[in-house]
DNA sequence: AACTATTTTTTGGCTTGCCTAAAAAATAGT
DNA sequence: ACTATTTTTTAGGCAAGCCAAAAAATAGTT
């Protein structure tokens, strides 16, 4: 487990593992389990162990056998940069090329591996230095800093309160397409008409006057900014 | 050497070999030699032989031991599509992101491997369906058809004739930077003031009235459209 | 504490893509 | 027609990533 001194240019596979570990540890203090990484990467646990050793040798993760892994400072920096590239490309695909927000993930997954610092900076500039991607996720800046924003899940709103949709917690294309059908796109304002706490569903009023019933699944996966009424 | 029936998604390495073979056979009837491919790919000849067998198995090249290779119809189709993607991305990098024409090759070399038919079509549309890239090379359309254009090498112009620069035969960054210094960019009109046939150099007049002496190397690597005087 | 179920790692093996060294085939010169 | 040279292929190996199956460690239960 020798420390790597110079930056050794990661393979695409290594980058993907870093991103998987990032996702798994992003919202928790506990290290990521081998099985969880295998699940995330759709690969066998044995392959994960292989790769963890390599990433540990390169100093990108903290790894102790049987204890799971977390990102080192350098690993976090690289993972954050990948997130930055991924989200910037998503903005490009949606804003400039006119892709639907349900179609961009796989393409951005490829584009995020393009290596060129100057490209990323020029793209950022070209896009107008966006701070959020088409799904409402924050885009880290060149220093890895994420924008902060007041947002809560729709299910936290009480009857009579209004909110503006600013993000989605679930990125599954089928979910996004469902939202498209209901015109529940980013920027849409809605008011909670009635809450049904027994199943966490709620009826909301849309700008066009329509009232729609949203399931628990929906209310738990839409981020809104509370609006003063 | 079993024929491959379904399209098997090429690896990046395979794509790069196809492109190398394409470049080597583009302007000649003769098949590409193993050594030439090795030179082009900066790799060992033995590695090339390995790969040629694989590409032949997949039906992408015509390969007979010791005889060199040429692209099959399918191989040519794939190689042409790679060229299309490469040149479209170069247009994007120069026209939209403001890169210099001497800086885009390596980045486009990465971007050309992004797999998404819809992306290519949308990019083409976004760029205004350009028919030539920043170096003046034609961009094949979705059917693989190249645009035709009347163009000759600058060295073919006679004294007194005028031409507009429409392309470069040499893509080396140092050459492109040299052209930048002299303002010999695409679209520049020039008139041959004097030819020195003993070394193929010539003196030309630029739109701003400047007269510059161009070496054989330059006159043999600039494509111009002859202008009526 | 002992047993069991689960998780993780190890082991051995596969493919891709690269290498060097050596053999074989083609080409060129006499 | 024979030899020398060049080109190409074969043979054998190596590293990256992947897998399934066996072994080891951990955690949960009694």
**pLDDT (tens digit, 9 = 90+) per residue, B77-112?**
999 999 999 999 999 999 999 999 999 999 999 999
pLDDT surpasses 50 at A147: yes
Q: What is the DSSP string of A70-102?
A: EE-HHHHHHHHHHHHHHHHHHHIIIIIT---TT
- Nearest nucleotide to the CA of A45, by C1', is C8
Same topology between domain B12-71 and domain B80-145: yes
Q: Which residue has the higher pLDDT, B45 or B1?
A: B45
CATH architecture entry for B12-71: Orthogonal Bundle (1.10)
Q: What count of other Cβ atoms lies within 10 Å of the Cβ of residue A64?
A: 9
User: Which fold, A81-148?
Assistant: Arc Repressor Mutant, subunit A (1.10.10)
Asked whether strand C has any atom less than 7 Å from the CB of A65, the reply is yes
Mean predicted lDDT score pLDDT of chain A: 94
Helix axes B45-57, B12-26, angle to 10 degrees: 100
Find the mean pLDDT for residues A151-176. Answer: 95
Q: Domain B80-145: state its class.
A: mainly alpha
**Tens of pLDDT along A44-87?**
999 999 999 999 999 999 999 999 999 999 999 999 999 999 99
Domain ranges across chain A: 12-71, 81-148, 152-227
Within 13 A of A138's CA, how many CA atoms are on the CB side? Answer: 12
Q: Are B55 and B19 a contacting pair, CB within 8 Å? A: no
Which residue lies nearest C24, CA-to-C1' measured?
A: B66
Contact B110 A114 (CB under 8 A): yes
Question: What pLDDT digit, counting tens, does each position of B116-171 carry?
Answer: 999 999 999 999 999 999 999 999 999 999 999 999 999 999 999 999 999 999 99
Degrees to nearest 5, angle at CA B123 with B121 and B128 = 100
Residues in chain A with CB shorter than 8 Å from the CB of B103 are: 118
So what's the pLDDT on residue A5?
54
Measured CA to CA, the distance from residue B178 to residue B214 in angstroms comes to 11
pLDDT at B198: 87
Beta-ladder partners of A214? A202
* C chain positions with any atom within 7 Å of a protein CB: 7-12, 16-22, 25-27
DSSP H helices in chain B: 12-26, 34-41, 45-57, 73-91, 105-111, 117-126, 173-181, 216-219
Contact B203, B193 (CB under 8 A): yes
Over 60: is that where the pLDDT of A142 sits?
yes
* CA distances, B181 to each of B104, B141, B148, B165 (Å): 18, 33, 29, 15
User: What pLDDT, in 10s, does the model give residues A185-223?
Assistant: 999 999 999 999 888 899 999 999 999 999 999 999 999
> C-alpha angle with apex B96: B93 to B102, nearest 5 degrees?
35
Report domain A152-227's class.
mainly beta
Q: Does A122 touch chain B (CB under 8 A)?
A: yes
ipTM for the whole complex:
0.91
Give the rounded percent of residues in chain A with a pLDDT score beyond 70.
97
Distance between CA atoms of B82 and B74, rounded to whole angstroms?
Answer: 12
B55 touches strand C (CB under 7 A): no
């Amino acid at each position: 487990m020798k420390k790597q001194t110079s930056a050794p240019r990661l393979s695409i596979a290594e980058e993907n593992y870093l991103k998987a570990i990032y996702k798994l540890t992003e919202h928790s203090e506990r290290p990521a389990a081998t099985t969880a990484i295998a699940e995330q990467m759709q690969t066998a646990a044995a392959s994960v162990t292989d790769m963890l050793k390599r990433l540990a040798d390169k100093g990108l993760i903290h790894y102790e056998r049987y204890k799971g892994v977390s990102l080192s400072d350098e690993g976090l920096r690289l993972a954050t940069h990948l997130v930055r590239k991924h989200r910037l490309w998503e903005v490009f695909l949606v804003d400039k090329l006119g892709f639907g927000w349900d179609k961009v993930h796989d393409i951005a997954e490829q584009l995020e591996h393009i290596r060129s610092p100057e490209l990323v900076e020029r793209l950022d500039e070209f896009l107008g230095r966006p701070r959020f991607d088409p799904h409402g996720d924050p885009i880290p800046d060149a220093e890895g800093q994420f924008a902060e924003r007041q947002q809560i899940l729709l299910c936290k709103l009480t009857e009579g309160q209004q909110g503006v949709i600013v993000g989605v917690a679930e990125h599954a294309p089928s979910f996004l397409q469902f939202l498209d059908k209901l015109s529940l796109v980013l920027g849409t304002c809605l008011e909670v008409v009635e809450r049904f706490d027994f199943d966490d569903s709620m009826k909301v009023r849309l700008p066009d006057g329509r009232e729609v019933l949203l399931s628990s699944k929906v209310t738990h996966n839409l981020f809104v900014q509370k609006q003063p009424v």
